[in-house]
Chains A and B, each alone.
Chain A
Amino acid sequence: MTVRVQTEDFDTGAEIARLRLARPDTGAVVSFIGQVRDLNDGSRVSAMTLEHYPGMTERALEAIVAQAKSRWNIFDALVIHRVGVLQARDQIVLVVVTGAHRGEAFSACEFIMDYLKTEAPFWKKEQTAEGERWVDARTSDEEAKLRWKEDAA
């Protein structure tokens, strides 16, 4: 299973070990962990709620992983994304990519995160001292995605 959407926390060490040990010809393991910050746009964030579109979320993430696999010579990729109520310092997302060499694994991991940020149907609502607020999408995330269109794979 390469894509999981879940409310419960995940064991990063165990997930990385599972992918690392799956093939003896693996030479590189790249991982990214996203974490809830206690500060955003100048406000203290006490907690956040992640909403998603069940069904489409899994399809979108699977499509992103499939694109990464077709574009780079990697062995496997894993995406775990949490939903529901999260507190500051909670893990939100984990991406793990394995391959023979680091270059392709680094690129594929960044590609997956850039596309996840702009195409996977998740929405964050923050709880702050001033009340609840929906997080606005950032133009910098769209720009980060566009760089992959200019590159020749």
Chain B
Amino acid sequence: MKLLYFARLRESLGTSAEEVVLPGSVTDIRSLMDWLSARGGQWQQEFSGNRPLRAAINQALANESATVQNEDEVAFFPPVTGG
């Protein structure tokens, strides 16, 4: 899976993109966030649900129960502020 991070989240995590292979326990956005949170430190800070976060699967907004697969591009970012 290709993971992307944007804006404040990208700066906090110190990375904008990575390739990962999902364990069997990760099936949706919620369990993906739990898996990333388990890395500890800033990852735990950002993915434990304390800060507002949005997710996109293959470049379309997705909610926490949306299914994810290894072939997907998944992005996490703060609520958007364009316009």
Contacts and interface: CB of A to CB of B under 8 A. Distances in A.
B6 A51 contact: yes
Interface in B10-58: 52, 56
A117 interface: yes
Given A117-B82, A123-B81, A136-B81, A59 B7 contact: no
B82 A122 contact: yes
Contacts of B52: 137
A113 B59 contact: no
A135 B15 CA distance: 20
Interface string A23-67: 000000000001000000000000000111101100110000000
A81 interface: yes
B82 to A, nearest CB: 3
Contacts of B56: 53, 56, 121
A105 interface: no
Contact of B83 (A59, A113, A134): A113
Q: How large is the interface on B (under 10, 10 to 19, 20 to 34, 35 or more residues)?
A: 10 to 19
Contact of B80 (A59, A113, A120): A120
Most B Cβ at <10 Å: residue of A56, A118, A124, A134: A56
B82 A123 contact: yes
A50 B82 contact: yes
B27 to A, nearest CB: 23
A125 interface: yes
B8 A123 contact: yes
Given A34-B83, A93-B82, 15 more contacts: A50-B82, A51-B6, A56-B60, A59-B59, A92-B82, A116-B82, A117-B80, A120-B82, A121-B56, A123-B81, A125-B7, A135-B81, A136-B81, A137-B52, A137-B78
Interface of A: 34, 50-53, 55-56, 59-60, 81, 92-93, 113, 116-125, 134-137
7 closest A-B pairs by beta carbon, nearest first, are A122-B82, A137-B79, A123-B7, A56-B59, A134-B8, A117-B83, A135-B81
8 contacts: A53-B75, A60-B61, A92-B82, A119-B61, A120-B83, A121-B56, A121-B82, A136-B79
